Structure 1
Amino acid sequence: MEITGYLASILIGISLGLIGGGGSILTVPVLVYLFAVDTVLATTYSLFVVGSTSLAGSFSYFKKRLIDLNTAIYFGLPSIVTVFLTRHFLLPAIPENVIQVENFLLTKSILLMVFFAVLMLFAAYSMIKKDTKNNTTLPQTTALSIIIQGSAVGIVTGLIGAGGGFLIIPALVNLLRLPIKTAIGTSLLIIAVNSLAGFIFSISQSQIQWSFLLTITFIAIIGIFIGSYLSTKIEGKNLKPAFGWFVLVMGVYILMKETILK
């Protein structure tokens, strides 16, 4: 299982390099199911892995001027605030045993994984569906709407250790009409800021196994360089539907494993 986990870690980076998201969708399940890491600790590890990998991947996009810094700031700053509030107040406030219905006990770990799986289903839908709208006119977007979306991404990041790329990319492309390559670069920077801030906020509350964490991160960084190279050969938007189906299968599997198969 560990060998499979290390191989899957490469996919985390490849996904981030190719489509600017999706790596965080893989990270928590890889840590929980393949490395048997506790769910809450896995969210902390995920923040470091995804944040470091995204930061490494963002450099090539920055050199190519494929990062919209204004959008990154409007998204990033409110995200950092909500990540801090979520990791320090909301996440600790969730009891270890949430509710029990007959023989089924809904624990904190199961609740987080189910929430994660539901978000994966929504993310899969956004990646699979075809855009039938006429994109010749720009939508009416304001700084406030970007701030609100950034805050929502911060809550998701804080709760489940996901960088939020699967939420950021659709917002950047569909609402702000950023070109897909610019959206990917901007997403990587936002994910890096959000995730690393979340890890810093959580480090005092966790027992970190640095050798394990750095190994996974190093492998994922190799993956993102592979993904960034492939992105010059393949259109990221052509890969989104295929990755969406993969995310859909993963989401359904997690839902079944955490509820029906318990």
Structure 2
Amino acid sequence: MSTLLILLITFFAGMGAGLGTGFAGMSAAAVISPMLISFLGVEPYMAVGIALASDVLASAVSAYTYKKNNNLDIKNGSLMMVMVLIFTVIGSYVSKIVPSRTMGNFSTFMTLLLGIKFIIKPVMTTKQDMDAVSRKKKITGSLICGACVGFICGFVGAGGGMMMLLILTSVLGYELKTAVGTSVFIMTFTALTGSLSHFSFGGKPDPVIMILCILFTFIWARIAAVFANKAKPETLNRAVGIVLTVLGVVILVFNYIK
């Protein structure tokens, strides 16, 4: 396998994953995994592990950027994170008992549909609207929604970032920037837990591929997060919608190739 091919694939995989993470809190696994499997022949389980490892720093730098711009809800985000981690384990256990092949493309279709949704019907909730929601409702919603997101993520194996963004904006009434900031904050810890688990059970990944994926995803996530925090709500909705729609189509193509 040529060094140039590895460099090109990891660059474009990292770019897609980084833009998805920085703009919309999307999991890098949805982009990086199919590209590594399709073009570099990486074993699927290890490809997911590398993607999750790439997600850690990308989500962390995105969360830092959103926090610096006061677009992160740590209190409710922490509650949701605990529930997500617990129910991801439960969902993973249930997936071993109940066949889930019919839900294999869940994350991809959700990415595509959510992208179209942001273009057609943008989230225009303000921080004033968000602050008007009672503390009790936020806590209850965070616990219930965290359980749902975690179970789906564990059962299907993907879709956590997209589910969180949808729930935070549509169910809990979050303003878009705060929803993305809170989502990437949660994804930092879920990706760390997932990557460590994958490498513990699956062995060591290819160091060159992993380092390049982490580096490129980190760079593009930082660029996207900086732009997102400076953009107007209308512009951000359109950017998120376009990024998700394009990534959704590209991932479908990669899955078809695979």
TM-score bracket for the superposition, by shorter chain length: 0.7 to 0.9
Q: Which moved more, 1:241-250 or 1:9-18?
A: 241-250
Distance 1:224 1:5 in 2: 17
**Counterpart for residue 215 of structure 1:** 212
Q: Do structure 1's residue 4 and structure 2's residue 8 form an aligned pair?
A: yes
Q: Which amino acid aligns with 2:113?
A: Y
**Counterpart for residue 57 of structure 1:** 62
**Counterpart for residue 167 of structure 1:** 163
- Decide whether the 8 Å contact of 1:157 with 1:194 is kept in 2: no
Q: Which amino acid aligns with 2:203?
A: Q
1:57-206 to 2 correspondences below 5 Å: 57-86=62-91, 89-90=93-94, 93=96, 111=101, 115-129=103-117, 130-131=120-121, 141=137, 143-158=139-154, 162=158, 164-206=160-202
| Partner deviation per Cα, 1:85-132 (whole Å, 9 max, x = no partner) | 455x456x479xx8xxxxxxxxx9xx4xx7442321123212212338
Structure 2 length as normaliser, TM-score? 0.78
1:27-66 to 2 correspondences below 5 Å: 27-66=32-71
Q: Which amino acid aligns with 1:231?
A: A
Q: Give the number of aligned pairs.
A: 241
**Counterpart for residue 101 of structure 1:** none
Structure 1 length as normaliser, TM-score? 0.77
* Post-superposition offset of 1:30: 2.0
- The structure richer in helix per residue is 2
Q: Which amino acid aligns with 2:253?
A: Y
Distance 2:244 2:198 in 1: 30
Q: Which amino acid aligns with 2:171?
A: L
Q: Which amino acid aligns with 1:17?
A: G
Q: Which amino acid aligns with 1:179?
A: E
**Counterpart for residue 239 of structure 1:** 239
Q: RMSD over aligned Cα, in angstroms?
A: 3.1
Secondary structure of residue in 2 paired with 1:21: coil
